[in-house]
Each structure stands twice: as C-alpha cells, then as structure tokens.
Copies of this chain bind each other. A is one copy, B any other.
C-alpha cells in the first residue's frame, strides 16, 4: 500500500483536469493517503490566478471526500512565504495540495523560502504531497517554465527553471496528451540526459513512493522519456529548428503499471498498491 512504503511520504503528480465529479479516483486516493476523517489538508493556491476560489473548490471537494480539516494558504510574495504563520500551518498537515495555475508564479514565491522548506520537511516526515498541473510541474527538481507544444523536438522550444525539488532527477510536463508536449520533453531530455522526462495526461497521476517507484493512476497515461542512450545535436542549438534526438527510450504507461525511477525500467509482478487503488 502506498502509505506503507517508507519514511518519506508519497508524491502525487497529477496531469491537470483531474476528475472532480464522478469516481474521483485521484483525489480520493489523496484524501485516503492524507488520513481521511483524521486528516488535515493544506491547499496552497499561489499558482492560481483565481485567488481564494481555487482554495474553496478543493476545500469543498476534500471535505466531501471525508477529510476532517482543510485549510488554504496563499502567499503572493516571498515575504509571506517566509512568514512563520505560513510555515506553522504545515506543521500539523497530513496532506499538502498544490493547485494549478502558473508554475513559475508558484516557485518564484515559494521555492527557497521557509514555506518551501516546510513542504519538503512535511514530505520527509511522511506527509502525502500532491500537485496538479502547474503544481505537478513544480514538484520536480527541474521545471518547465514555459514552452511551445508540438511533437517534434526543436531548439529553444522550452525553458527550464528550478522547481521545489521534492522529486529530484526528473522534469515533469502535464496536460501531456491534450497539449501535445512530447516534442519539448524530448528536447529537454536531449539537452539534459541526466533528467528523466515525465509527461502526465489529464485526469492521470504518477504516484512516486519513497522507494522511487512510480505508480500510474487515472484515465490517461504517464509517458517516460529516458535519454540515457541519446545521441543529439542539441548542444549546437540555433534558432527554432528541429533538434536531432536519436535513441531515446520511451514508455507510455496506463493505470495500474509501475516504473522503477532508479533503474528506469518497467516493473512487473504484484503491485504494491495492494488495496487496488490503481487498478481501475
């Protein structure tokens, strides 16, 4: 079971537009991992341009899923993210949820502040973290700041920034199928072959457990792009032209499949998700 794996908490990387009206497979899993009726979820809506409406929508959802307590915080400046009040909100949290919006706004306010440290500390002590869309991108060490869509990798089609660093060694792209982002993930991995590229479709979630196993949940697929053996001319980048990427290894995994992030390989055999959460 996800929560039983180890010291650090599971990290739920959600591709955006997760189901909020029907089975709520992903949000229900998060609520469950956050402790249900005993749970205390903090929603961080800094990424969103909707203000408190974003917090309120998730608050109602999580209360509807049986969570005992839900609070929202929304620092808009780094000084607010360094305020001890924001930090103390996380000390009792059993789950932290990062909304969608603009991931650069989220990291530019939160990364490297006391709140950023508090999120990381919560993760270390076993709290489940979830981020959707922009909140998903921000969970990685390396983050897509912005870029262009399209399946063909091109020079300068994507710009990288530092994320919150909860999941190291990866770069995450969301709304992956819906916005046609395979090209920029290939370009990223060609440029930075130490990073594993993770693309997540809408209403789909990659749950990374403390043993560095990625479990797929939800309606779409999680795409993994491994550049370990790539040959490329990315270092010669000029203009907005196609970049040569040869030998990338690609995995497209639907719900129920697992991937070993350390070994960069599909896992077979019994799933650790023994309560069947991932087998929709």
Chain A interface residues (CB < 8 Å from chain B): 150-153, 176-177, 180-183, 186, 199, 201, 220-221, 223, 225, 231, 241-255, 257, 259, 266, 268
A245's closest neighbor in chain B, by CB?
Answer: B252
B243 touches A254 (CB 8 A): yes
- Given contacts A152-B220, A177-B151, A181-B151, is CB(A250)–CB(B252) below 8 Å? no
Residues of B within 8 A of A220 (CB): 152, 242
A218's closest neighbor in chain B, by CB?
Answer: B242
B242 touches A221 (CB 8 A): yes
A251's closest neighbor in chain B, by CB?
Answer: B246
Residues of B within 8 A of A242 (CB): 201, 220-221, 252, 254-255
A177's closest neighbor in chain B, by CB?
Answer: B152
A280's closest neighbor in chain B, by CB?
Answer: B241
Distance of A253 Cα from B266 Cα, bound (Å):
26
Residues of B within 8 A of A243 (CB): 252, 254
